[in-house]
Amino acid sequence: MEQIMNDHHFTFNAAALVARADGTLWWPDEGLLCVSDLHLGKSERIARRGGNLLPPYETQDTLWRLKAAIAAVQPERVICLGDSFDDITAAQSVPEEARRSLMHLQAGREWIWIEGNHDPGPVDIGGTHRVEVTVGPLTFRHITDGKTIGEVSGHYHPKASVRGAGFARACFLMDRRKLILPAFGAYTGGLSVGHTALRSLFAADGLAILTGKRALPVPLSACLRR
């Protein structure tokens, strides 16, 4: 019951959706779970490019949380909204252990990889690869095109805070036309909703849904004030 209390139920373009505290989007009527920006293999990429060596455990951590998210709602369909792999090389060199975990998660359900800017090509792991996908009134793609009504996207890793009530949390952003998901991957930074790149995307009556222990909706205007 705790689970339900912590979720935020809302209607978006006539679809009854649930923003979950863990940062995933659940669409019960379609049995569809959507996650964005997993960035699997980030540490390998940074090491490859000669940066600081991060231990590779973050991929495992992201997959464990994904497993928990899937176990909680038992979706029939999972959409990964792009930037699932930190780059194409990461996608092609997923460690054996992680590959097995992914296969377990994919078993018995439809799995769609949407292409992102980090992972534009097809990857050699189960599931279908699509640039975008439309389900009923909703369109799923990696980066918003700024026009489509009923669009669900990722890419920006939005974060927001409310003045006088704690630190910035990863959040969903939405108005009547579009919905942007928070990043699900470990070690992914965030873009503050106050940033012009995000601010300009949303209507004045937009909403942020903070994640963490509970999914808490708050007017975007209240986040932008700082």
98 lies in the site for other proteins, by CB under 8 A: no
- In angstroms, what is the minimal distance from the CB of 199 to other proteins? 17
Task: Tell me the C-alpha distance between 57 and 102, whole Å.
Answer: 15
- In angstroms, what is the minimal distance from the CB of 121 to other proteins? 28
3 lies in the site for other proteins, by CB under 8 A: no
x/- map, 5-44, other proteins, by CB under 8 A: -----xxx--------------------------------
Give the residue with the Cβ less far from other proteins, 121 or 219.
Answer: 219
Tokens of 83: 């930037």
| Helices and strands in the chain: count of H runs, count of E runs | 7, 16
Applying CB under 8 A, which of residues 76, 97, 145, 205 lies at the interface with other proteins?
Answer: 205
The residues pairing with 111 across neighbouring beta strands, listed in sequence order, are: 78
Give the residue with the Cβ less far from other proteins, 54 or 133.
Answer: 54
Tokens of 155: 């890419």
57-73 and 96-106 are packed helices; what angle lies between their axes, rounded to 10 degrees?
Answer: 10
Let me know: does 94 contact 85? Beta carbons within 8 Å: yes
Applying CB under 8 A, which of residues 55, 96, 124, 196 lies at the interface with other proteins?
Answer: 55
Let me know: does 21 contact 6? Beta carbons within 8 Å: yes
Let me know: does 172 contact 208? Beta carbons within 8 Å: yes
Task: Tell me the C-alpha distance between 105 and 60, whole Å.
Answer: 13
Tokens of 153: 């996207």
- In angstroms, what is the minimal distance from the CB of 221 to other proteins? 7
Applying CB under 8 A, which of residues 187, 190, 191, 192 lies at the interface with other proteins?
Answer: 187
Total site size for other proteins, rule CB under 8 A = 30
Give the residue with the Cβ less far from other proteins, 156 or 202.
Answer: 202
48 lies in the site for other proteins, by CB under 8 A: no
166 lies in the site for other proteins, by CB under 8 A: yes
15-19 vs 8-12, strand pairing mode:
antiparallel
Let me know: does 147 contact 201? Beta carbons within 8 Å: no
- In angstroms, what is the minimal distance from the CB of 191 to other proteins? 17
Which residues lie near other proteins (CB under 8 A)?
Answer: 10-12, 52-55, 57-58, 162, 164-167, 174-176, 187, 205, 207, 210, 212-214, 216-219, 221-222
